[in-house]
Amino acid sequence: MEKACRICQNKKDNRKHVFREKYFGTNDEFDYIECSVCGTLHIKETSKELGKYYRGTYCPHSNQLTARESMVTKLSKWLAEKGELTSDICHTILNPFISVDLGLEAFFRLSPSPFPAMRILDVGCGNGTYVKRLRISGFGNAFGIDPFLPEYLLQDADHAFQRSEISQMDDNQHYDIIIFNHSFEHLALPQNALHHAKRLLADNGQIIMRIPLAGSQAWSIFGKEWVQLDAPRHLFLHSIKGINLIANRAGLKIRKIRYDSSGFQFWGSRLYCQGKSLISGAQHRSIIRFMMQLPARQFDELRALYYNRRGLGDQVCLYLAAQ
């Protein structure tokens, strides 16, 4: 019997793929299904040992924001306030040197513009960096939830964090903005998550969802070496069509789509093609190596900009609201 797509339930002509764990370089194999109808890629069976693939270096734990973090926050807000062209040019120049917080930039691009009194929920907040950056930007009602929340965040003086699934959140709590900042692809029950997000949305509330995208040009070029496959942690590689389906079932609609991929889709995938892990690539960085690679990295950013402008980038920011 063919495995049905978990998004649209199609069973016909779905393709099976075998992907390896590449981030740490364990090369453990995992079966994935590619739907012939909605284009979604998803893991066939979730690993019973999934936790071991989330070691500390995958999601760094730091309990304070540095001066550099504050600079990143201010830069992200400044870029969001500029036009698309200015922002794209700045990203192309800066990305090889400093990681701009694209999630924060997506937040500041909301229309109407966010205001400090808004209640904000970051679902799958990880080490809490996104929430902390929002709070130092003046958004004192920003909160984060994660079922694997680090212990030190439970001691946070502002009580901004909770060890919880979105399905466990109180009906009496409503949020103006709910954020899935590269967490949605890690959820085993994405349809269920959207139903609960809709339940928790305040009137005129919005959802920001940033995800890697199945069917992208990088997937076509690199195939099983595409860096954003990230087996087995990415349980789903969603498509726009697939998100539309589950959003509609949850009483939501996509209001806006913005492609925000970076050169990472190229240089990260090249590392995998060379048989290297992302960890090993990071360990062998040096000033000399960085300067030698700089022209290629900047070309990657220009290429990413070209792909984004044509709807071919490998990650996307979706803005959703109630129907």
Counted residue by residue, the chain has a size of 323
Tokens for 283? 């360990």
Beta strand pairing status for 175-181 and 41-43? unpaired
* Mean per-residue pLDDT, 107-112: 86
127-185 residue pLDDT tens? 898 999 899 888 999 999 999 888 889 988 889 999 999 999 998 899 999 999 999 99
Is residue 95 within 8 Å of residue 87, measured between CB atoms? no
List domains and CATH numbers for the chain.
53-322 (3.40.50.150)
pLDDT at 107 over 70: yes
Give the pLDDT mean for 295-313.
92
Q: What is the pTM of this model?
A: 0.88
User: How far apart are the C-alpha atoms of 122 and 128, rounded to whole Å?
Assistant: 9
Which regions of 135-216 does DSSP assign to beta strands (E)?
142-145, 161-162, 175-181, 201-212
Tell whether the model's pLDDT for residue 285 goes beyond 60. no
Sheet holding 315-322, edge to edge: 161-162, 142-145, 120-123, 175-181, 201-212, 315-322, 252-259
Ranges of H-type helices in 8-116:
67-81, 84-94, 102-108
